Amino acid sequence: MYRIGIDLGGTNIKAGIVGEGQNILREKFVPTLAHRPAEEVIIDMAKLVLSILEEESLGIRDVAGIGIGCPGMIDAKSGEVPYSNNLCWENVPLAPLLKKSLRAECPIKISNDANCAALGEAKAGAAKGVSNVVLFTLGTGVGGGVIVDGRIFEGAHAGGAELGHTTLIMGGEECTCGRKGCVEAYASATALIRDARRAAGKEPGSLMNALCGGDLDRMNGKIPFDAMEQGDKTAKALVERYFDYLAESVANFVNLFRPDVVLLSGGICNQGRNLTDPLNERLGRLCFGGKKAFVPEIRCATLGNLAGIIGAANLV
């Protein structure tokens, strides 16, 4: 039997057939066109699933289960999406509607997209075979996935495991959630870019200005690292401060979940050990209990976009 994993994003719907060895037999995507009514998006999800099955000469009866990773607040028990900012959805009964549209008899389960990415990495990626994992997705925001004893931990009600929405500096930078000073407001790629613009704007001699062609609107998350590598002190101070934010955030979740491994994902992971080495060094000093306690290693995720599909398939 095969499982289907669907990674529903604000931009694309990706779906894959996942084999028993966590291998992806076939995957495909179509644009989400999120501003349509939810029903139309869900019909396209069903068509996409049927299309990849057909290409493998399979039918819906060959499918043991379907999992969906979805951005926003998820009610895993009912299969509904109370609220998703990226999809402009409110109270959408996602799993029931897809089940109806596919005339599927197999179980259909949903979870938050970052949870699915964490589960995918724990099943087949950078934390393969590891039972307790915390994953941070560092992108526009900071998403989080927590795996406890091999299963997604998402709290008793929708809106748990929101790692990005806990305070790093109470009353600090404005966060997208309406609070001030959340982890997301300091540790996301968006926050790094904001801080790089500010730093470069204050220091006209910083190489970061040249690297974005004198136009701070062209700042991205790679430029501070490139400038640091070329000896720019402003960039170095900025990146070191960003590492501090990240390490303090990770230490908070180690003190709560004390996982076997911590994973980071997102474009910044292209920095590899230039990112993880300084973070691991800091983490050892920050965690409760110091050297008397187990301090997990911080690693970069390895599955990229496939983590979501594999994780979603593992919901069922």
Q: Are 108 and 74 within 8 A, CB to CB?
A: no
DSSP state of 175: -
Q: Are 157 and 164 within 8 A, CB to CB?
A: no
Least distance to a second copy, CB of residue 75, Å: 10
Name every residue whose Cβ is closer than 8 Å to that of residue 111 and which is 6 or more positions away in sequence. 67, 68, 69, 70, 74, 76, 119, 152, 154, 311, 312, 315
Least distance to a second copy, CB of residue 126, Å: 17
If the CB atoms of residues 43 and 169 are measured against a second copy, the closer one turns out to be 169
If the CB atoms of residues 53 and 130 are measured against a second copy, the closer one turns out to be 130
Least distance to a second copy, CB of residue 194, Å: 17
Least distance to a second copy, CB of residue 98, Å: 22
Name every residue whose Cβ is closer than 8 Å to that of residue 129 and which is 6 or more positions away in sequence. none
Least distance to a second copy, CB of residue 160, Å: 3
**Torsion from C-alpha of 271, 273, 275, 278, nearest 10 degrees:** -160
If the CB atoms of residues 64 and 177 are measured against a second copy, the closer one turns out to be 177
Least distance to a second copy, CB of residue 200, Å: 23
If the CB atoms of residues 12 and 131 are measured against a second copy, the closer one turns out to be 131
Cα separation, 261 vs 130, whole angstroms: 8
If the CB atoms of residues 203 and 248 are measured against a second copy, the closer one turns out to be 248
If the CB atoms of residues 259 and 308 are measured against a second copy, the closer one turns out to be 259
Q: How does strand 261-265 pair with strand 133-138?
A: parallel
CB count in 10 Å sphere of residue 307? 32
Name every residue whose Cβ is closer than 8 Å to that of residue 118 and which is 6 or more positions away in sequence. 133, 134, 135, 144, 145, 146, 147, 152, 263, 307, 311
Least distance to a second copy, CB of residue 104, Å: 28
Checking phi first, is residue 37 left (phi over 0); if not, alpha (psi -120 to 50) or beta? beta
Q: Are 93 and 50 within 8 A, CB to CB?
A: no
Contacts to a second copy by CB under 8 A: 73, 82-83, 90, 131-132, 148-149, 153-163, 165-171, 177-179, 181, 244-245, 248-249, 251-252, 254-260, 285-290, 292-294, 296
If the CB atoms of residues 252 and 271 are measured against a second copy, the closer one turns out to be 252
